[in-house]
C-alpha cells in the first residue's frame, strides 16, 4: 500500500486529497497506528491486547489517564461510572417518552444535548478534573439514554440502571431486557473496548472539530454521534447483519448451506457494484486485528462454529475478489446477533464504546487547542449579479 500523499500546493494553499486520505491534521497521544504501520495502539498497548484483556473501567482509565489503573484508581472509576449511570434527571426520561419510534441514534444525540442542559454549568471550563468528571458522566449515561429511548419506543417501559452491576453487564441487561450470563457480559464488554477509539476516524475527528471551537463536551459528543450514524462508519454493523440474514434466508430457500451460498451471494452483489458492508477500512488494508478478539467470543456463543465458517468464507471470497479484509463491524454484527441485541441498537452500542475515545480526544484537543478551520477551493461561477424575481424568471 502506498502512503504517498497526493497533495498539491497552489498559491500557498495545500490542496488535500478527497476524503483527507493520508492527511495528518494533528498529533495525538491517545491512539493510532504505530510508527512502523503494523499495529493500532491504545496508549502504548495493541488494540487487540486491551480488547481481549482489559475491563471497561480499566480501558476507560487508560484512555483518559494514559496508564492502566492501580487498585484505588480502579475502585474510583468503577464507583463513579456505576453511580453516574443511575443519576440521569427524570425529566430526560420524560422527554424520551415523547420521541417517535425512530432510529435510536437520534435518541443519543437528543439525550446528550439534554444532558448538557442539566449537567453543564453556564460557564464551561477547561481544567482537567472538571473535564474528566463530565467525560465520566457521559460515558456512564449515554448507554442508559439509548436503552431508555429504545425501550420506551418499542416496549413502553424503561429498564432502570442497577449501580450494583458492572457497567457492561448492566448496559447489556437494559438493552436485551434480561440478565446476561457472565460470558455474554464479557463478550459485550470486550466489544465496547474494541470500539473505544481508532485515531482520527470520522466521528472522532468531528468531535475534535467541534471541541476546537471551544464548545462544550456535550455538544461535541452530539456531533460525534451524528457522524457515527452513517453506514460508511458505525452504521456498517447493522447493514452487515441485514445482509448476512438475507443471505441466510436465500440459502435456506435454495436448500444450500450458507457457508457455501455466501460466495454466490457476494459475487452477485459485487457484479452489481454493490458494497459488502463490514469490508474495507481506511487504515487496515490487510487485516483488522479486532476481528480476532471478536471471533473468540463468537465461537463461545450459540451457533458460533457455524457463523465463523460463514464469516471466514466471506473473507476468503472478498480477499480473492477485491483484496479487502473484513473489519470489526462484520464480526460484531454476528456477535450482537448472538447476544440478542436488536439490529437498530448495533450502532448505539458502537457509540457506547466510542464515547470513551471521543471524550478523551475532546480533552486532548481543548487542552492544546487551535481551531480546526480548513480553507476551500471554490470552483463555482463568479461575477453574477442579483436580479429581482420578475427579471430573473422572465419566460
Ligand atoms: N465492498 C466492495 N467494494 C469496496 C468496499 C466494500 N465494502 N470497500 C471498498 N471497496 C472498493 C471501493 O469501491 C474502491 O474501489 P475502486 O478503487 O474500484 O473505486 C476500493 O475498494 C478502495 O476503497 P475506498 O472506498 O477507496 O476505501 P476508503 O478508505 O475510501 O473507504 C470504507 C473505507 C469507507 C470503510 C469502505 O471500505 C467502505 O465503504 N466499506 C463498507 C462500509 C464499512 O464496512 N464501514 C465500516 C468501517 S470500519 C468502522 O467504522 C469501525
Q: Any catalytic annotation for residue 281?
A: yes
Based on the domain organization, do 293 and 358 belong to the same domain? no
Could you tell me if residue 393 is inside a domain? no
Q: Is 327 exposed, middle or buried (0-12, 13-18, 19+ CB in 10 A)?
A: buried
Q: What integer is the mean pLDDT of 174-191?
A: 98
Q: Out of 324, 339, 354, pick the residue that ends a domain.
A: 339
Ranking 32-46, 209-223, 297-311 by mean pLDDT, the lowest is 32-46
Based on the domain organization, do 128 and 190 belong to the same domain? yes
pLDDT in tens, 314-346: 999 999 999 999 999 999 999 999 999 999 999
Q: What is the pLDDT of residue 395?
A: 74
Based on the domain organization, do 156 and 259 belong to the same domain? no
Distance in Å, CA 332 to ligand 1 centroid: 18
Catalytic residue among 281, 287, 288, 292: 281
Ranking 8-12, 43-47, 171-175, 316-320 by mean pLDDT, the lowest is 8-12
Q: Inform me whether the pLDDT recorded for 189 exceeds 50.
A: yes
Could you tell me if residue 41 is inside a domain? no
Q: Looking at ligand 1, which residue's alpha carbon is closest to its atom 26?
A: 282
Q: What is the pLDDT of residue 5?
A: 61
Based on the domain organization, do 247 and 283 belong to the same domain? yes
Based on the domain organization, do 176 and 244 belong to the same domain? no
Q: At what angle do helices 328-339 and 346-367 cross, to 10 degrees?
A: 130
Catalytic residue among 170, 197, 216, 329: 329
Q: What is the pLDDT of residue 4?
A: 61
Cβ contact 212:74 at 8 Å: no
Q: What is the pLDDT of residue 1?
A: 44
- Three-state SS annotation for 161-210: CCCCCCHHHHHHHHHHCCCCCHHHHHHHHHHHHHHCCCCCCHHHHHHHHH
Q: Any catalytic annotation for residue 48?
A: no
Q: Inform me whether the pLDDT recorded for 7 exceeds 90.
A: no
Question: What gap in Å lies between CA 116 and CA 139, rounded to an integer?
Answer: 13
Could you tell me if residue 386 is inside a domain? no
Q: Looking at ligand 1, which residue's alpha carbon is closest to its atom 19?
A: 273
Q: Inform me whether the pLDDT recorded for 176 exceeds 90.
A: yes
Show the domain range for 174. 47-231+342-367
Q: What is the pLDDT of residue 285?
A: 86
Q: Mean pLDDT for the chain?
A: 95
Could you tell me if residue 162 is inside a domain? yes
Sequence-ordered alpha helix ranges (H) in the chain: 47-53, 56-65, 71-85, 90-96, 104-119, 128-155, 167-176, 182-195, 202-211, 217-228, 236-254, 258-271, 290-300, 304-322, 328-339, 346-367, 389-392
Closest CA to 111 of 158, 47, 155: 158
Q: What integer is the mean pLDDT of 188-215?
A: 97
Question: What gap in Å lies between CA 132 and CA 80, rounded to an integer?
Answer: 11
Q: What integer is the mean pLDDT of 239-252?
A: 97
Based on the domain organization, do 217 and 300 belong to the same domain? no
Distance in Å, CA 281 to ligand 1 centroid: 6
Could you tell me if residue 18 is inside a domain? no
Question: What gap in Å lies between CA 331 and CA 284, rounded to an integer?
Answer: 15
Based on the domain organization, do 206 and 193 belong to the same domain? yes
Cβ contact 335:297 at 8 Å: yes
Query: pLDDT tier at 235 (50, 70, 90 boundaries)?
Result: confident
pLDDT in tens, 80-111: 999 999 999 999 999 999 988 999 999 999 99
Vertex 283 angle, CA 282 and 285, to 5°: 90
Q: What is the pLDDT of residue 206?
A: 98
**How many CB atoms are closer than 10 A to CB 210?**
22
Closest CA to 203 of 342, 26, 350, 30: 350
Could you tell me if residue 257 is inside a domain? yes
Could you tell me if residue 101 is inside a domain? yes
Could you tell me if residue 379 is inside a domain? no
Q: Inform me whether the pLDDT recorded for 3 exceeds 80.
A: no
Q: Looking at ligand 1, which residue's alpha carbon is closest to its atom 35?
A: 281
Closest CA to 347 of 236, 250, 186: 236
Q: What integer is the mean pLDDT of 260-284?
A: 94
Question: What gap in Å lies between CA 331 and CA 240, rounded to an integer?
Answer: 9
Q: Phi first, then psi: give them for residue 60, nearest 5 degrees.
A: -65, -45
* CATH, residue 314: 1.10.230.10
Question: What gap in Å lies between CA 348 and CA 145, rounded to an integer?
Answer: 10
257: Cα separation from own chain's centroid: 32
Based on the domain organization, do 125 and 186 belong to the same domain? yes
Based on the domain organization, do 52 and 146 belong to the same domain? yes
For ligand 1, what atom is nearest to the CA of residue 240? 44
Burial pattern 211-230, b for ≥16 Cβ within 10 A else e, equals bbeebbbbbbbbbbbebbbe
Based on the domain organization, do 210 and 320 belong to the same domain? no
Best of 33, 278, 280 for a ligand 1 pocket test (most atoms within 8 Å of beta carbon): 280
Amino acid at each position: 500500500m502506498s502512503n504517498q500523499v497526493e497533495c498539491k500546493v497552489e498559491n500557498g494553499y495545500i490542496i488535500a486529497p478527497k476524503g483527507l486520505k493520508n492527511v495528518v491534521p494533528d498529533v495525538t497521544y491517545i491512539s493510532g497506528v504505530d510508527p512502523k504501520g503494523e499495529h493500532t495502539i491504545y496508549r502504548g498497548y495493541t488494540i487487540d491486547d486491551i480488547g481481549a484483556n482489559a475491563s471497561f473501567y480499566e480501558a476507560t482509565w487508560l484512555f483518559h489517564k494514559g496508564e492502566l489503573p492501580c487498585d484505588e484508581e480502579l475502585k474510583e472509576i468503577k464507583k463513579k461510572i456505576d453511580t453516574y449511570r443511575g443519576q440521569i434527571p427524570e425529566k430526560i426520561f420524560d422527554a424520551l417518552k415523547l420521541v417517535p419510534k425512530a432510529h435510536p441514534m437520534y435518541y443519543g444525540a437528543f439525550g446528550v444535548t439534554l444532558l448538557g442542559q442539566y449537567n453543564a454549568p453556564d460557564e464551561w471550563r477547561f481544567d482537567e478534573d472538571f473535564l474528566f468528571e463530565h467525560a465520566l458522566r457521559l460515558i456512564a449515561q449515554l448507554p442508559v439514554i439509548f436503552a431508555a429511548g429504545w425501550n420506551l419506543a418499542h416496549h413502553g417501559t424503561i429498564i432502570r440502571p442497577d449501580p450494583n452491576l458492572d457497567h457492561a453487564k448492566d448496559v447489556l441487561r437494559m438493552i436485551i431486557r434480561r440478565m446476561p450470563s457472565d460470558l455474554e457480559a464479557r463478550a459485550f464488554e470486550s466489544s465496547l473496548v474494541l470500539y473505544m477509539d481508532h485515531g482520527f476516524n470520522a466521528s472522532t475527528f468531528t468531535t475534535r472539530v467541534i471541541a476546537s471551537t471551544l464548545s462544550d463536551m456535550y455538544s461535541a459528543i452530539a456531533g460525534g454521534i451524528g457522524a457515527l450514524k452513517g453506514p460508511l462508519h458505525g452504521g456498517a454493523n447493522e447493514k452487515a447483519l441485514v445482509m448476512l440474514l438475507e443471505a441466510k434466508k436465500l440459502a435456506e430457500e435454495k436448500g444450500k448451506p450458507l457457508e457455501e451460498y455466501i460466495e454466490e451471494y457476494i459475487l452477485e452483489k459485487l457484479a452489481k457494484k454493490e458494497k459488502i458492508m463490514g469490508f474495507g477500512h481506511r487504515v487496515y488494508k490487510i487485516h483488522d486485528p479486532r476481528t480476532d478478539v471478536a471471533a473468540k467470543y463468537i465461537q463461545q456463543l450459540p451457533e458460533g462454529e457455524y457463523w465463523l465458517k460463514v464469516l471466514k468464507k466471506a473473507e476468503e471470497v472478498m480477499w480473492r475478489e477485491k483484496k479487502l479484509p473484513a473489519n470489526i463491524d462484520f464480526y460484531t454484527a454476528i456477535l450482537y446477533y448472538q447476544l440478542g441485541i436488536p439490529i437498530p441498537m448495533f450502532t448505539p452500542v458502537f457509540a457506547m464504546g466510542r464515547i470513551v475515545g471521543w471524550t478523551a480526544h475532546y480533552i486532548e484537543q481543548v487542552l492544546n487547542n487551535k481551531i480546526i478551520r480548513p480553507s476551500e477551493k471554490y470552483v463555482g461561477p463568479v461575477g453574477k449579479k442579483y436580479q429581482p424575481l420578475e427579471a430573473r424568471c422572465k419566460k
